[in-house]
A = this chain, B = another copy of it.
Amino acid sequence: MVMFKKQYDELATKVNDYLRITLDSMKKYPKIIFDSMEYSLFAGGKRLRPVMLLASHKLLEGDLEESLPLAGGLEMIHTYSLVHDDLPAMDNDDFRRGVPTNHKVFGEGIAILCGDALLNLAYETMIDNALRRPEKLINHLNAINTIAKAAGIRGMIGGQVVDLENEGKDIDPDILQYIHEHKTGALFMASLKASIMLEDPPENISKALLEYGKSLGLAFQIIDDILDVVGDDKKLGKMTGRDREKDKATYVDKYGLEKSWSIAKELCDNAIAQISIFGPEGEFFIQLANFIIDRHN
């Protein structure tokens, strides 16, 4: 576990450094939007998606310098979705990761533009990177395409829409699963798919990675629901019970705490089973699954 933590932190530091350099190159543009983007990009996120992208690219023996801008782009997309999701017209959240949400600090207008700017910058960054890799242009375009599809109406945005539509309604378990698979699962999966697009591994290898991502993504969301009920406000950095207050569809409402835990645990075991194909090299992903099931924020 110590080794895992060290590896995780090394990858997360790579992502942070990359985001820092990318933002610093924008300092000559309107200061307030720069400040607003910086505020949310560096508000203490776990960097889970970009770390997964880099770790899976490493597992496939890729060069991390090549995938780093895709990892950065993925984190920008994740961050934009949080900034917009927190807006009064959406989830109306005042705190995120222990600090006031973007619109609470910069106002709603700038928060909307900040999200737009982060989404657009993700594509600018990923396309710039692709243009620097003429020998692997098709691989990079396929990777960007994978991330784009996961971020759009067929993926994350689709999940957000169905989530918004179903607030306060008694919803079907199928719809609940649709929301989770799309709103959270799609970008999760995209982190693994993108590395697959870059390296074209054999079919059984990509299948194992994708099955892992599918199970773990859903487990992650269920744990999120559980933490919303039993979590500690201070550790979570946001108000617990918010989802229930807003009558949002959660696994805990549908199945109760105990059953939700056992579903999450089973999904995690499923995920870990997929990774055996990699032998000792897969250790990081096994530990990552344990980390997700044991997390407190």
Contacts and interface: CB of A to CB of B under 8 A. Distances in A.
A32 interface: yes
Chain A contact surface mostly:
helix
A120 B29 contact: no
A137 B139 CA distance: 12
B158 A29 contact: yes
Contact of A115 (B116, B158, B165): B116
A104 interface: no
Nearest to A144: B127
A141 interface: yes
A124 B141 contact: no
Contact of A123 (B34, B148, B165): B148
A110 interface: yes
Interface in A92-119: 103, 107-113, 115-117, 119
A238 interface: no
A32 B157 CA distance: 12
B89 A112 contact: yes
Among A33, A121, A142, A162, which residue has the most Cβ atoms of chain B within 10 A? A33
Given A153-B26, A162-B30, A89 B117 contact: no
A131 interface: yes
B152 A121 contact: yes
A254 interface: no
B131 A161 contact: no
A145 B127 contact: yes
Contact of A109 (B107, B151, B154, B164): B164
A139 to B, nearest CB: 11
Interface in A119-140: 119-121, 123-124, 127-128, 130-131, 134, 137-138
Given A33-B153, A127-B144, A89 B108 contact: yes
Given A29-B153, A107-B89, A158-B33, A141 B127 contact: yes
A1 to B, nearest CB: 37
Contacts of A103: 89
A120 B90 contact: no
Given A134-B138, A152-B124, A113 B165 contact: no
A164 B116 CA distance: 14
Closest 8 CB pairs of A and B: A89-B108, A120-B152, A30-B161, A89-B109, A33-B161, A124-B148, A117-B157, A117-B153
8 contacts: A32-B165, A84-B113, A115-B116, A120-B151, A123-B148, A127-B148, A130-B141, A134-B138
Given A26-B154, A34-B153, A123-B148, 16 more contacts: A30-B153, A32-B165, A37-B153, A84-B116, A88-B108, A89-B109, A116-B119, A120-B151, A120-B153, A120-B157, A124-B149, A130-B141, A131-B138, A131-B145, A134-B138, A137-B141
